[in-house]
Amino acid sequence: EVVSLKDSYKNDFYIGTALSADQIEEKNANEDSLIEREFNAITAENIMKSMFIHPQKDKYDFALTDKFIAYGEKNKMFIHGHTLIWHSQLAPWMQKIKDSTEMKAFMKDHITTIVSKYKGRIDSWDVVNEALNEDGTLRKSIFLDKLGEQYLVDAFKLAAAADPKVDLYYNDYNNEEPAKRAGNIALIKKIKAGGGKIDGVGIQAHWKLGYPSLEEIEKSILEYSALGVKVAFTELDISVLPNPKDFSGADVNQKFEGDPKMNPYPKTLPDSVQVKLAERYASIFKLFLKYKDKISRVTFWGVHDGQSWLNDWPIKGRTNYPLLFDRDLKPKKAYNSVIQLK
Ligand code: XIL
């Protein structure tokens, strides 16, 4: 009998992975069989973001999204849409939108066109991504700037109008931390009070070995689900590398590229760290299982370590080990620790 993540957790929640453009386009046979064996949910890592799916005002590019969805359908997977309204990875033309009239027209066209095109074929959408600052206030963005906070309610209304049955999510990182969580809770209440439909909250879960605490994750599951929304962990990975304190500046790469302290495991991950990663994953999944009734989906941000964005963020060219499969597509100790909980 073949053991897999998706079968082990089939009565609990979906187990998903993000697919890179290469994986969607070229379809490497080894990776395909791993993806199909282990996962029953997929998210596109990049190709559905604004700059790719809507490169010019009057031009959408659906070719790769069509492929991505056909792949999910062929394999009877849960298909998640990522993401409609986000300040990052915008097309250049969007960054030049100059006033509220133009921004309203953009949002209506963008959301309605994409959501209605895939109506009934996409199971859930990240309607808005990363609208909050760390202190829980609203992040400065072109959307907030042109439309004020009403853009949040409007985005959810437009998505629901285009596909009344699809689940609509707000998605963010660090929203398990107290201040940002409080802001996220206020945001969900505001969307509901304004007449928007919101079905779930996505906790990205770009985590570290020692952060965040299990207590904060547990409080988040409880507090969010108390609002009547589903909780999904949407982009799970656990970095084993140190991060510079301030990695927001453009000079991060120049400062740290080639610094061995920032890339301590360039060839292999020492066994002691493998074990720590396995323990961390086990404790997280143990908590997820405790609240399986409140959790809709747990998606990893990538299939295997070689593909992870954390090799290039926040510093380029490092060797990170954040996922359950290694660079040879072999299951790691962390994989076994997650399977062994079942
Ligand atoms: C990342 C991708 O993994 C990278 O390939 C890309 O260069 C930048 O975006 N939060 C999100 C994701 O919502 O879309 C981001 O994905 C990671 C952080």
Q: Provide the pLDDT for residue 251.
A: 74
pTM recorded for the entire structure: 0.97
The pLDDT tens digits for 203-242 are: 999 999 999 999 999 999 999 999 999 999 999 999 999 9
Residue 247 belongs to a domain: no
Q: How far from 23 is each of 169, 201, 258, 294, CA to CA, in Å?
A: 25, 27, 29, 31
Q: Check which CATH number belongs to the domain holding 293 and give it.
A: 3.20.20.80
Question: Could you write out the DSSP letters of every residue in 70-115?
Answer: HHHHHTT-EEEE--SB-SSS--HHHHT--SHHHHHHHHHHHHHHHH
* Atom in ligand 1 nearest the alpha carbon of residue 18: 3
Active site residue 235: yes
Ligand 1 mean position, distance from CA 129 (Å): 11
318 closest CA partner among 260, 245, 236: 260
Kind of pairing, strands 206-208 and 295-300? unpaired
Residue 246 above 70 pLDDT? no
Pocket residue to mutate for ligand 1, from 20, 45, 239, most atoms within 8 A of Cβ: 45
Which residues, 6 or more positions from 299, have their beta carbon under 8 angstroms from its beta carbon?
14, 15, 16, 17, 18, 41, 43, 80, 232, 233, 234, 235, 236
26 closest CA partner among 307, 234, 323: 307
Interior/surface letters 152-163, b for 16+ CB within 10 angstroms, e for the rest: bbbbbbbbbebb
Pocket residue to mutate for ligand 1, from 43, 180, 235, 303, most atoms within 8 A of Cβ: 235
Query: Encoding tokens for residue 5?
Result: 């993540």
* Domain tally, the chain: 1
92 or 254: which leads in pLDDT? 92
Ligand 1 mean position, distance from CA 140 (Å): 19
Residue 243 belongs to a domain: no
* CA separation for the pair 180, 164 (Å, rounded): 29
- Report whether 299 contacts 234 (CB < 8 A): yes
CB half-sphere exposure, 257, CA atoms < 13 A: 8
Ligand 1 mean position, distance from CA 11 (Å): 29
305 closest CA partner among 317, 293, 320, 284: 320
Q: Provide the pLDDT for residue 254.
A: 75
Q: How far from 87 is each of 92, 119, 141, 306, CA to CA, in Å?
A: 12, 24, 6, 27
DSSP state of 234: E
The pLDDT tens digits for 61-101 are: 999 999 999 999 999 999 999 999 999 999 999 999 999 99
Q: Provide the pLDDT for residue 249.
A: 63
116 closest CA partner among 161, 80, 73: 161
Query: Encoding tokens for residue 74?
Result: 């062929």
Ligand 1 mean position, distance from CA 176 (Å): 18
Q: Which residue's C-alpha comes closest to atom 5 of ligand 1? A: 309
Question: Could you write out the DSSP letters of every residue in 148-195?
Answer: TTHHHHHHHHHHHHH-TTSEEEEEESSTTSHHHHHHHHHHHHHHHHTT
Residue 289 belongs to a domain: yes
* CA separation for the pair 61, 112 (Å, rounded): 15
* Atom in ligand 1 nearest the alpha carbon of residue 234: 13
Residue 35 above 70 pLDDT? yes
* Domain range enclosing 145: 5-238+260-339
Q: Which residue's C-alpha comes closest to atom 13 of ligand 1? A: 129
310 closest CA partner among 217, 240, 233: 240
Q: Mean per-residue pLDDT for 315-334?
A: 96
Q: Mean per-residue pLDDT for 177-193?
A: 98
Residue 128 belongs to a domain: yes
* Atom in ligand 1 nearest the alpha carbon of residue 309: 3
Among 31, 235, 257, 279, the active-site one is 235
Residue 275 belongs to a domain: yes
Q: Which residue's C-alpha comes closest to atom 3 of ligand 1? A: 309
| Complex ipTM value | 0.99
Residue 255 belongs to a domain: no
Ligand 1 mean position, distance from CA 141 (Å): 17
218, 203, 13, 35 alpha-carbon torsion, rounded to 10°: -140
Going 32 to 37 to 40 to 45, the CA torsion angle's sign is negative
Pocket of ligand 1 (CB under 6 A): 45-46, 129, 204, 235, 309
Query: Encoding tokens for residue 118?
Result: 């895939």
Residue 244 belongs to a domain: no
